[in-house]
Structures are given as C-alpha cells and as structure tokens.
Structure 1
Amino acid sequence: MSSLFPALRESPDRTALRFGPDVLTYGELDAASAALAEKIAGAGRVAVWATPSPHTAVAVVAALRAGVPAVPLNPRTGTRELAHILGDSSPALVLATSGDVLPEGPDTLPRVDVSLTTGATPGAAVPAPEEPGPETAALVVYTSGTTGPPKGAVIPRRAVAHTLDALAGAWGWTADDVLVHALPLFHVHGLVLGVLGPLRRGGAVHHLGRFDVTAVARELAGPGTMLFGVPTMYHRLAEAVADDRELVSALSGARLLVSGSAPLPLRDHQRIAEATGRHVVERYGMTETLMNTSVRLADDGRSLSPARPGTVGPALDGVELRLVDEAGAPLEARDGETVGEVEVRGLSLFTGYLDRPEATAAAFTPDGWFRTGDMATTDAAGAVTLVGRKSTDLVKSGGYKIGAGEIENALLEHPGVAEAAVTGEPDPDLGERVVAWVVPRDAASPPGERELAEHVSALLAPHKRPRRVRYLDALPRNDMGKILKRALDA
C-alpha cells in the first residue's frame, strides 16, 4: 500500500490544515508529525486528547506514520466512561498540548506534548518513518455504548484507505477541494472523513472550532467547496436560508454538502434544495465498518443519483451489502418496502473489538458478513433507505414491521412540530404501539394527539399512526446530535 498521505512530501507548500489562526502546510505537517512519530515509535497504543485543534490532527497523523494505534479521547467524556476506555485500551502514553488540562485518568499517563513545529533546526530534513503494513491497526475508536460498555473497534490502515478512496470516487473528491466542518475529532465522521479524508486527497480542511451559521457562510463563500455536517447542523442551516441571502449564495456555490451520523429529515432536505438548488448528500456508515453507502452526485453536479432525497445511496465500490430477515436469510425483494437488517462485508471493515473475541465473533455471520443492527429497505437501483436501529427504531405492531424514521419524517411535515422521535412500547393488543415524542413549535398550543395521528395516517398508512403522543421541551441528544432513544424510554 502506498502512503496514506502522499501529499506530505509531494505538495509541501499547499495548505493542509486551518483551525482559526493556526495554519499548517503539508510540509509543516510532514515535519511536525514525523518528529512526533519518532518520539512515539514502538510505544504500543497511544491516547490522543482529541480537542478540535490542529494538534489532534498532528497527533493522529504522527501515530499513523509510526504504526502506533491511536485511541481518540473525547474531552467531554464523563469520568466513569473515560476510566473504562483507558482501562480497556491500556494506552502507553497520552498525546496532548502543553496547555491541555487533563482530567483524572489521562493525567496519570506519561505525556508527550504535541507541537505544531518540530523543534529541529529550521530547514533540517526529518526522515520519513517506514510505512506500516495495510493490516496494521490505525485507530481504536470506541462505540457509543448504547447496548453496554463502549467497545474498542480496531480499524486497520487498509480500512481507512479504502473507505476514503471509495468516497473520493463517489463524490469526485480531489486535491482542489477545501472541506469545511465543525465536527468533533474523536469519531469516524469528524476525524477519519473530516481530517484524514482531505489529507489523503491532498486538499485542505478548514475547521470552524464550533458550528456557526455565519462561519459556514463565510467559508463556503470563500475557499470552501465541501461541507460535512450532522442533521442538527443542517436543520439550523435550513431554518436560516429563509432570511439569510449570504448563506443561500454560499450554499448554492458549494460543490458538495454531506450529512451523516443520523438521517436528515426530508423537510430539511426540501428547504435547503428549494432555497439553494443544492441537494444534501447522505451517506451511511458506522464505527466498525467506516462508510458503507453514499448517494452520488449526477453528472450535472447538482442533482442526486439516484434522485430521491432520504436515501443513503447504493453500496460504495468494494462494499458488499445485503438485507436479511429475522432468521438471517437474505431478502431478495428490492421494492423499497421490505424491511431487513443490513449486513456488510469488504475492505472497509474493522478487524474486531479490542480484546473481545466473543463479541467480535457474535458480530459476524459464519460466512463473514458484519451484522450492523440497522434496519433498511432497498429499491430497484440498490439505494438504501434506513428505517432505524433494530434495537430501538423497529416497532412491531399488529403484525407489521414499522420503521420509526418514516413516521418521524411525517410528523416533521406538520407545521406545529419542531422535533420528533418515535419509539415503541408494549401493548397488550398490538404487541407494541407507536409512541411519538414531540417538541412543539408553540409549547403553549401544541398539536393534539388525534390531530397528529390523523396527519400521519393521511401521509403513510393507518397502522403507522402514533397511538400515544408525549410532549417535550427538547429531545435528548449526544455530541453528534443523535437522539438518545433509550433516554426517552427511561
């Protein structure tokens, strides 16, 4: 395998990273990461205090160049979960800046300060580390822990390279692209796609530090060509386009708008497309598999292929994908209606859960397919539409399998609904009944339960209507904006 980041040596004068006032060229990133790689070579696993800064990028690139697995740590993680991750991964040291104040746990590890300079004599060449093999562990990224303590997914170098190259093919991603994002850097979306992706292409990443509509407009009106975000961010952009002409102009000029980590409501798709002429591209992946599918841009660079917002597209090149029934038998129907669990295999998959052979074995079928736990349909073109997680988003009511996602989209089309989530709860007659959790636009005058049930019935089918409606001031969400449905059930 060639180097993950050939531009480090091939394009030394090009801008690689910009985080506010901190700007690094590829030559500077090459020197800083090579110097750090020399310090940590042979260290075993290393923890990275993953702040939204160029230091995190330097630390991870250095670990990759040294062939040392990096364990990104979320600076906002609570003490109990942080202790679990550190105990489970046993990092030999922690990479952080000299100004980072580390909490209990990371503060007990030997610390190597991450600098944006080499500390070497100016102009002195820093030798390139020897390239590790493709199966060498690149990252250990911890899952969200929704079904138990977080597990460390061991992601090899070949998975990183393959998924980024497959996305480049789907999106026409080149060295001329400047990616704008404000995502955290401790997970696949923000770190692998949002930082390592541009670096592999030889382009640039402009990180905003935190999401801000005005900053997005400024960057996309300037050098930015691509925007990565999560539905919460795109919802705020969709709210703003009605009154912000500068934002409309900036989004209209962007080459690619990508949303991921959770489904983007159809209402937000429509508002952005109607205001800007740009369609938001959705893709589908997870920690263990990196990216599985993506909507492609059509030849005109503006419309979608296939042209139906709400899908996450067909399988990426090199990814095999199938749907299976409850017994694990493959489903042949491509009717856009038959729901099955998504299973995938290919070069983008992780090698297993760290030190958990039983959990790893349980995650795969005997013939090598990874069980994602996601439920979906496929259409004749192979486009996948996610309906939710098998554990939390599939409601079995009156003999029907009902996906929470389509009901949530229907609820969001009601003018009185600001946010919505759907779960199931036990029902003595139906087995489970559909429950809607609604944040009304006007808390003093929320839409009634019957009104919402009739609204959903008119758009979908009577058996998909909510049997209970519960009103909230806000939906519980994690750092990525995903709704925490187990918190609702609790």
Structure 2
Amino acid sequence: MTLLLPALQSPTGPAASREAVRFGDLSLTYGRLAGAAAALAARVADAGRVAVWATPTPETVIAVVAALRAGVPAVPLNPRTGERELAHILADSAPTVVLAGPDDVLPSGLEKLRRVTVDAREAVAGPEGSASVGAGPEEPEAAALIVYTSGTTGPPKGAVLPRRAVAASLDALEDAWGWTGDDVLVHALPLFHVHGLILGVLGPLRRGGSLRHLGKFSAEGVARELGSGGTMLFGVPTMYHRLAEALDAPAGTAERDALAGALASARLLVSGSAALPVHDHERIAAATGRRVIERYGMTETLMNTGIRADGVPRPGTVGPPLAGVELRLVEEDGTVLDAAGAIGEIQVRGPNLFTGYLNRPDATAAAHTADGWFRTGDVGTVDADGYVAIVGRKATDLIKSGGYKIGAGEIENVLLAHPGVREAAVTGEEDADLGERVVAWVVAADPGSPPAAEELADHVAAQLAPHKRPRTVRYLDTLPRNDLGKIMKRSLRA
C-alpha cells in the first residue's frame, strides 16, 4: 500500500524545510514534524493503543502522526468530554498511554495511563526526521484511528478507521477538489473529530501541503490567513454563518472589505458536518463572488459525496458520490428507490468505510445490510444529475405528517430566509390527527419583536406547500449546539 503520509516519511532538502503546520506563532516544517513524530513513535510502539488529548494545538498533530508512524491506533479524546463518557471511552478502547501537551491538566480518569508529554516547542528545536526511526506497518486494514461517535442513541461507539479508509477518502477529495501540495488549508475545527483531524490535518499532510490552524475561530483570523497565502477554508455552518454576518457590514468598512477580499481570493471554501443554510450561501456569494461548496460524510464512512471544484455549485446539495463510493436510497421496507427526487435512507459502500465498531459486533452487523451496504441513518434525495441533497437524520429530521414525508431541512432554509429569523430548527411532534406535526424552533433577529407564528407559517406554506407549514412555533434565545455547531435536536424535543 502507498504510504499514508509519504511526505513525512523521510523529508530531505527543500521538502524538509517546507511548512507543514502552523498554530499561531508556532510553525513546524516537514523535517521538524517528522523528527518529533519519529522520536515519539519509538516511545509508544509497544503501547497497543494510545489516547490523544486532542486540543487544537501542534502537540495533537505530533501525537497522531507519531501513532500512525508507530502503527499504533490513536483514540482522540475531546477535552470537554464529561466524566461518565470519558470513563466509557477509556474502558472500551483500553489505551495504555495518553499523549498530552506539557501544560495540559488531565482529568482523574486518565491517571491510570502512562502519560507521555508532547512538546511542540522542543520539536521546533529538535532534529529532523529519519526514515529508520519508528517506522510502523502500512497494512491497508490496520487500524489508524478509533473515533467515538456522538452517542445520541446510547453510549458512544468507537468507529475503527483503517488506513485504507483514510487514504481512500483523502485521495477521493484530491480528485474532486484538485487538492495538491501547493494548497494551504485554513481552519479552526476541533481535532478530535474526523472533519478537523482527518480532513483538516491528515489531508494536507498526505498531499505535502500546509495547514494553518486558527486555534479559535474568528472572522479576523480567517481574513488574515486567507489573505496571506491560504488557498482553502474548511468550516462548519456556524462558522460560515458568522462570516456571512460579518460580511453584512457596509461595504467600505475595513474589516468587512478585508474579509470579503480574502474569501474571494481563496481557491475553495468548503462547509461540512451539517447543512449550510441556503440563506448563508447566498449572502457569502453576493459579498465575495465565491460560492461555498459542501460535502457529506460521517465518522463511520469518512467522505461520501462532494461538490467538485470543477463542478456546478448547487446550494442545498452536497454533490455527487466521490470516486469509489457507491450510494443508493432505500425505502423503509428495503426497496431501492431509483426515481429522481424520491426521499429515502442513504446507504453507501466503498473503500472509505470503517471496519466496524470496537467491541460491538452486534452494532456493526445492525449497521450493515445483508449485501454489505452501510445504513447511514440519513435521509436524502438524488436528482437527475446525481447530486445528493440531505433532508436530515432519519430519527429526527424526517417528519411524517398527514401521509406526507417532510424533510426538516427545506423548511429550515425557508425560515432562515425570513428577515425576522436569525436561527431556526424544525422537528416533528406527535399529533393525534396528523401523526406528527411540524414544529419550528426560532431565534428571532429582534428578540423584542419576533415575527408572529402565523406569519412564519404562511411564509413556509407560500414557498413550499401547505402541508409543510409549521403547526407550532416556539421561540428561544439560542439553539443548543454541539462542538461542531450541529443543532442538538434531541435536546429540543426533550
């Protein structure tokens, strides 16, 4: 198999001095990163599995690259994980070592593990890499990472991601986006999830390109890094929403114009992890002339679809299946749906899939069909050109009302286009007459004077269809979101 991170195997000459990652004022070249990772790999080669205290720092990058080099599966830990969930993850994955930065204060649950300190400041002054130190196995099916799901339907499950899946997804994105070693990726995503870690860190490193991590998201940081050589921006909808709001400032404002110019100069603006509202798509395009493109993936499958760099951007869609990925829509009874526009559960198969849930053969079997397709639990449609649109999660975003199947996402997009709405979410609630009724959760643009419920219902009915109008509107100060900006609809329904 081709090496997962060939540019880090034995960088020499100009390749060694090329910047690999930058976090604020701290920059690591390929040579320094390879040297630090090789030395650390030698210390954890017999660990079995290693936990990584995944802060948004260069220490996390060194730790994960070292684990990959040693051939030891890495378990990224969210530093904000609660005590009970952390205990479950540690008991389930059974790491023997935890890799953490010198200033990290670890919770008591990690005291039983051997702590190995990772210091990026030492790496800056340390030796450059050697291919003879800590070079681990490159078997395609060897586990690279064990990433835990969000646990919305029970305790988090550990998705075992083999090297084969990581390489397949990143290479499919290379094909779709023309991703090369000349690209400089900018993002502020957390490094305990596949979006920020696999796409956002391993993606540039596999290509031999560069990553500039903002540490903490800000419009100013985005403008600075894209305006000084960044070519790609990865973000989640919450981030792009904030960029759209910053772009709403009057033209001629220095900060606004700097941001608009920086976004316009980028080669690709990519949003993922949840649907980007069409309203935000349009605001950014109007201010910059640049379209945000979307892709679709999940922990267990990595990337499934994506708008191509040379394709036609279509707000509200996540593009066609990526190279090597098969995708189909299935009715509840298992019938495969072929008609364009039909709504069904998305199922996928291909080299991008995980090998299974750690210690959960029952859950692994239940997640797959008899003929090997993975049940995503997402509901979507496919148009005549093969572009996929995500309606939402089968459990929370498919509303069955009065004999109709209604996708929450399209109603949310229409609500967000109303000038009186700042944020919106749509769920279904049990209804004796309709089966389920459509419920809108709204954060008003002006909390002191929110739009009337009937006005919002009529707005939806006029844009979509009468049966999709919200029957109930509830007003909130803010919507509950997780670390990736996804709205936690189960919290709303509870």
TM-score (norm 1): 0.97
Which amino acid is 1:436 matched to?
A: A
Deviation of residue 111 (structure 1)?
0.7
Aligned counterpart, 1:56: 60
Q: 2:147 aligns with which of 134, 141, 145?
A: 141
Change (3 A) 1:417 1:32: same
> SS of the residue aligned with 1:228?
strand
Aligned counterpart, 1:347: 351
Aligned counterpart, 2:237: 231
Alpha-carbon separation, structure 1, partners of 2:124 and 2:276:
45
Alpha-carbon separation, structure 1, partners of 2:189 and 2:125:
32
Matching of residues 110-125 of structure 1 within 5 Å: 110-116=114-120, 117=122, 122=127, 125=130
Deviation of residue 429 (structure 1)?
0.7
Alpha-carbon separation, structure 2, partners of 1:479 and 1:33:
28
Aligned counterpart, 1:68: 72
Does residue 22 (structure 1) correspond to residue 26 (structure 2)? The answer is yes
> SS of the residue aligned with 1:245?
helix
Alpha-carbon separation, structure 2, partners of 1:120 and 1:242:
44
Indicate conservation of the 8 Å contact 1:31/1:126, yes or no: no
Q: 2:389 aligns with which of 373, 385, 391?
A: 385
Which amino acid is 2:479 matched to?
A: L
Deviation of residue 328 (structure 1)?
1.3
> SS of the residue aligned with 2:433?
coil
Q: 1:170 aligns with which of 167, 176, 182?
A: 176
Does residue 280 (structure 1) correspond to residue 284 (structure 2)? The answer is no
The farther-off stretch of 220-229 and 3-12 is 3-12
Change (3 A) 1:449 1:122: closer
1:320-367: CA deviation from partner (whole Å, max 9, x where unpaired):
000000111110112x3x100000000000000001000000000000
Alpha-carbon separation, structure 2, partners of 1:123 and 1:224:
25
1:52-79: CA deviation from partner (whole Å, max 9, x where unpaired):
0001000000101111000000001111
Which amino acid is 2:114 matched to?
A: P
Alpha-carbon separation, structure 1, partners of 2:111 and 2:380:
43
Is there any run of 5+ residues in structure 1 with no aligned partner, and where?
Answer: 299-304
Deviation of residue 444 (structure 1)?
1.3
The farther-off stretch of 29-38 and 101-110 is 101-110
Q: 2:439 aligns with which of 430, 435, 440?
A: 435
Deviation of residue 115 (structure 1)?
2.9
Change (3 A) 1:431 1:54: same
Deviation of residue 240 (structure 1)?
0.9
Change (3 A) 1:127 1:377: same
Alpha-carbon separation, structure 1, partners of 2:52 and 2:491:
29
1:272-302: CA deviation from partner (whole Å, max 9, x where unpaired):
011111100100000000000001122xxxx
Deviation of residue 307 (structure 1)?
3.5
Indicate conservation of the 8 Å contact 1:241/1:275, yes or no: yes
Does residue 252 (structure 1) correspond to residue 257 (structure 2)? The answer is no
Change (3 A) 1:126 1:384: closer
Deviation of residue 223 (structure 1)?
1.4
Aligned counterpart, 1:202: 208
Indicate conservation of the 8 Å contact 1:66/1:132, yes or no: no
Deviation of residue 125 (structure 1)?
4.4
> SS of the residue aligned with 2:347?
strand
The farther-off stretch of 129-138 and 208-217 is 129-138
Which amino acid is 1:258 matched to?
A: V
Deviation of residue 122 (structure 1)?
4.8
> SS of the residue aligned with 2:108?
coil
Percent of aligned positions with the same letter in both sequences? 69
Alpha-carbon separation, structure 2, partners of 1:124 and 1:413:
52
Deviation of residue 131 (structure 1)?
3.4
Alpha-carbon separation, structure 1, partners of 2:246 and 2:405:
36
Aligned counterpart, 2:253: none
> SS of the residue aligned with 1:223?
coil
What is the aligned length?
482
Which amino acid is 1:85 matched to?
A: I
Deviation of residue 118 (structure 1)?
6.0
Aligned counterpart, 2:157: 151
Indicate conservation of the 8 Å contact 2:50/2:75, yes or no: yes
TM-score (norm 2): 0.96
Aligned counterpart, 1:5: 5
The farther-off stretch of 241-250 and 158-167 is 241-250
Q: 1:416 aligns with which of 416, 420, 425?
A: 420
Deviation of residue 12 (structure 1)?
1.1
Alpha-carbon separation, structure 1, partners of 2:434 and 2:127:
73
Change (3 A) 1:49 1:284: same
Alpha-carbon separation, structure 2, partners of 1:363 and 1:58:
33
The farther-off stretch of 118-127 and 412-421 is 118-127
Alpha-carbon separation, structure 2, partners of 1:408 and 1:320:
28
Indicate conservation of the 8 Å contact 1:72/1:186, yes or no: yes
Which amino acid is 1:178 matched to?
A: V
The farther-off stretch of 363-372 and 235-244 is 235-244
Indicate conservation of the 8 Å contact 2:27/2:124, yes or no: no
Does residue 35 (structure 1) correspond to residue 39 (structure 2)? The answer is yes
Deviation of residue 106 (structure 1)?
1.4
> SS of the residue aligned with 1:447?
coil
Is there any run of 5+ residues in structure 2 with no aligned partner, and where?
Answer: 250-255
Deviation of residue 124 (structure 1)?
8.4
Aligned counterpart, 1:467: 471
Aligned counterpart, 1:45: 49
Q: 1:359 aligns with which of 353, 363, 366?
A: 363
Deviation of residue 219 (structure 1)?
0.5
Q: 1:372 aligns with which of 367, 372, 376?
A: 376
> SS of the residue aligned with 2:16?
coil
Alpha-carbon separation, structure 1, partners of 2:124 and 2:406:
59
Indicate conservation of the 8 Å contact 2:281/2:315, yes or no: yes
Alpha-carbon separation, structure 2, partners of 1:108 and 1:204:
36
Indicate conservation of the 8 Å contact 2:431/2:437, yes or no: yes
Change (3 A) 1:118 1:443: closer
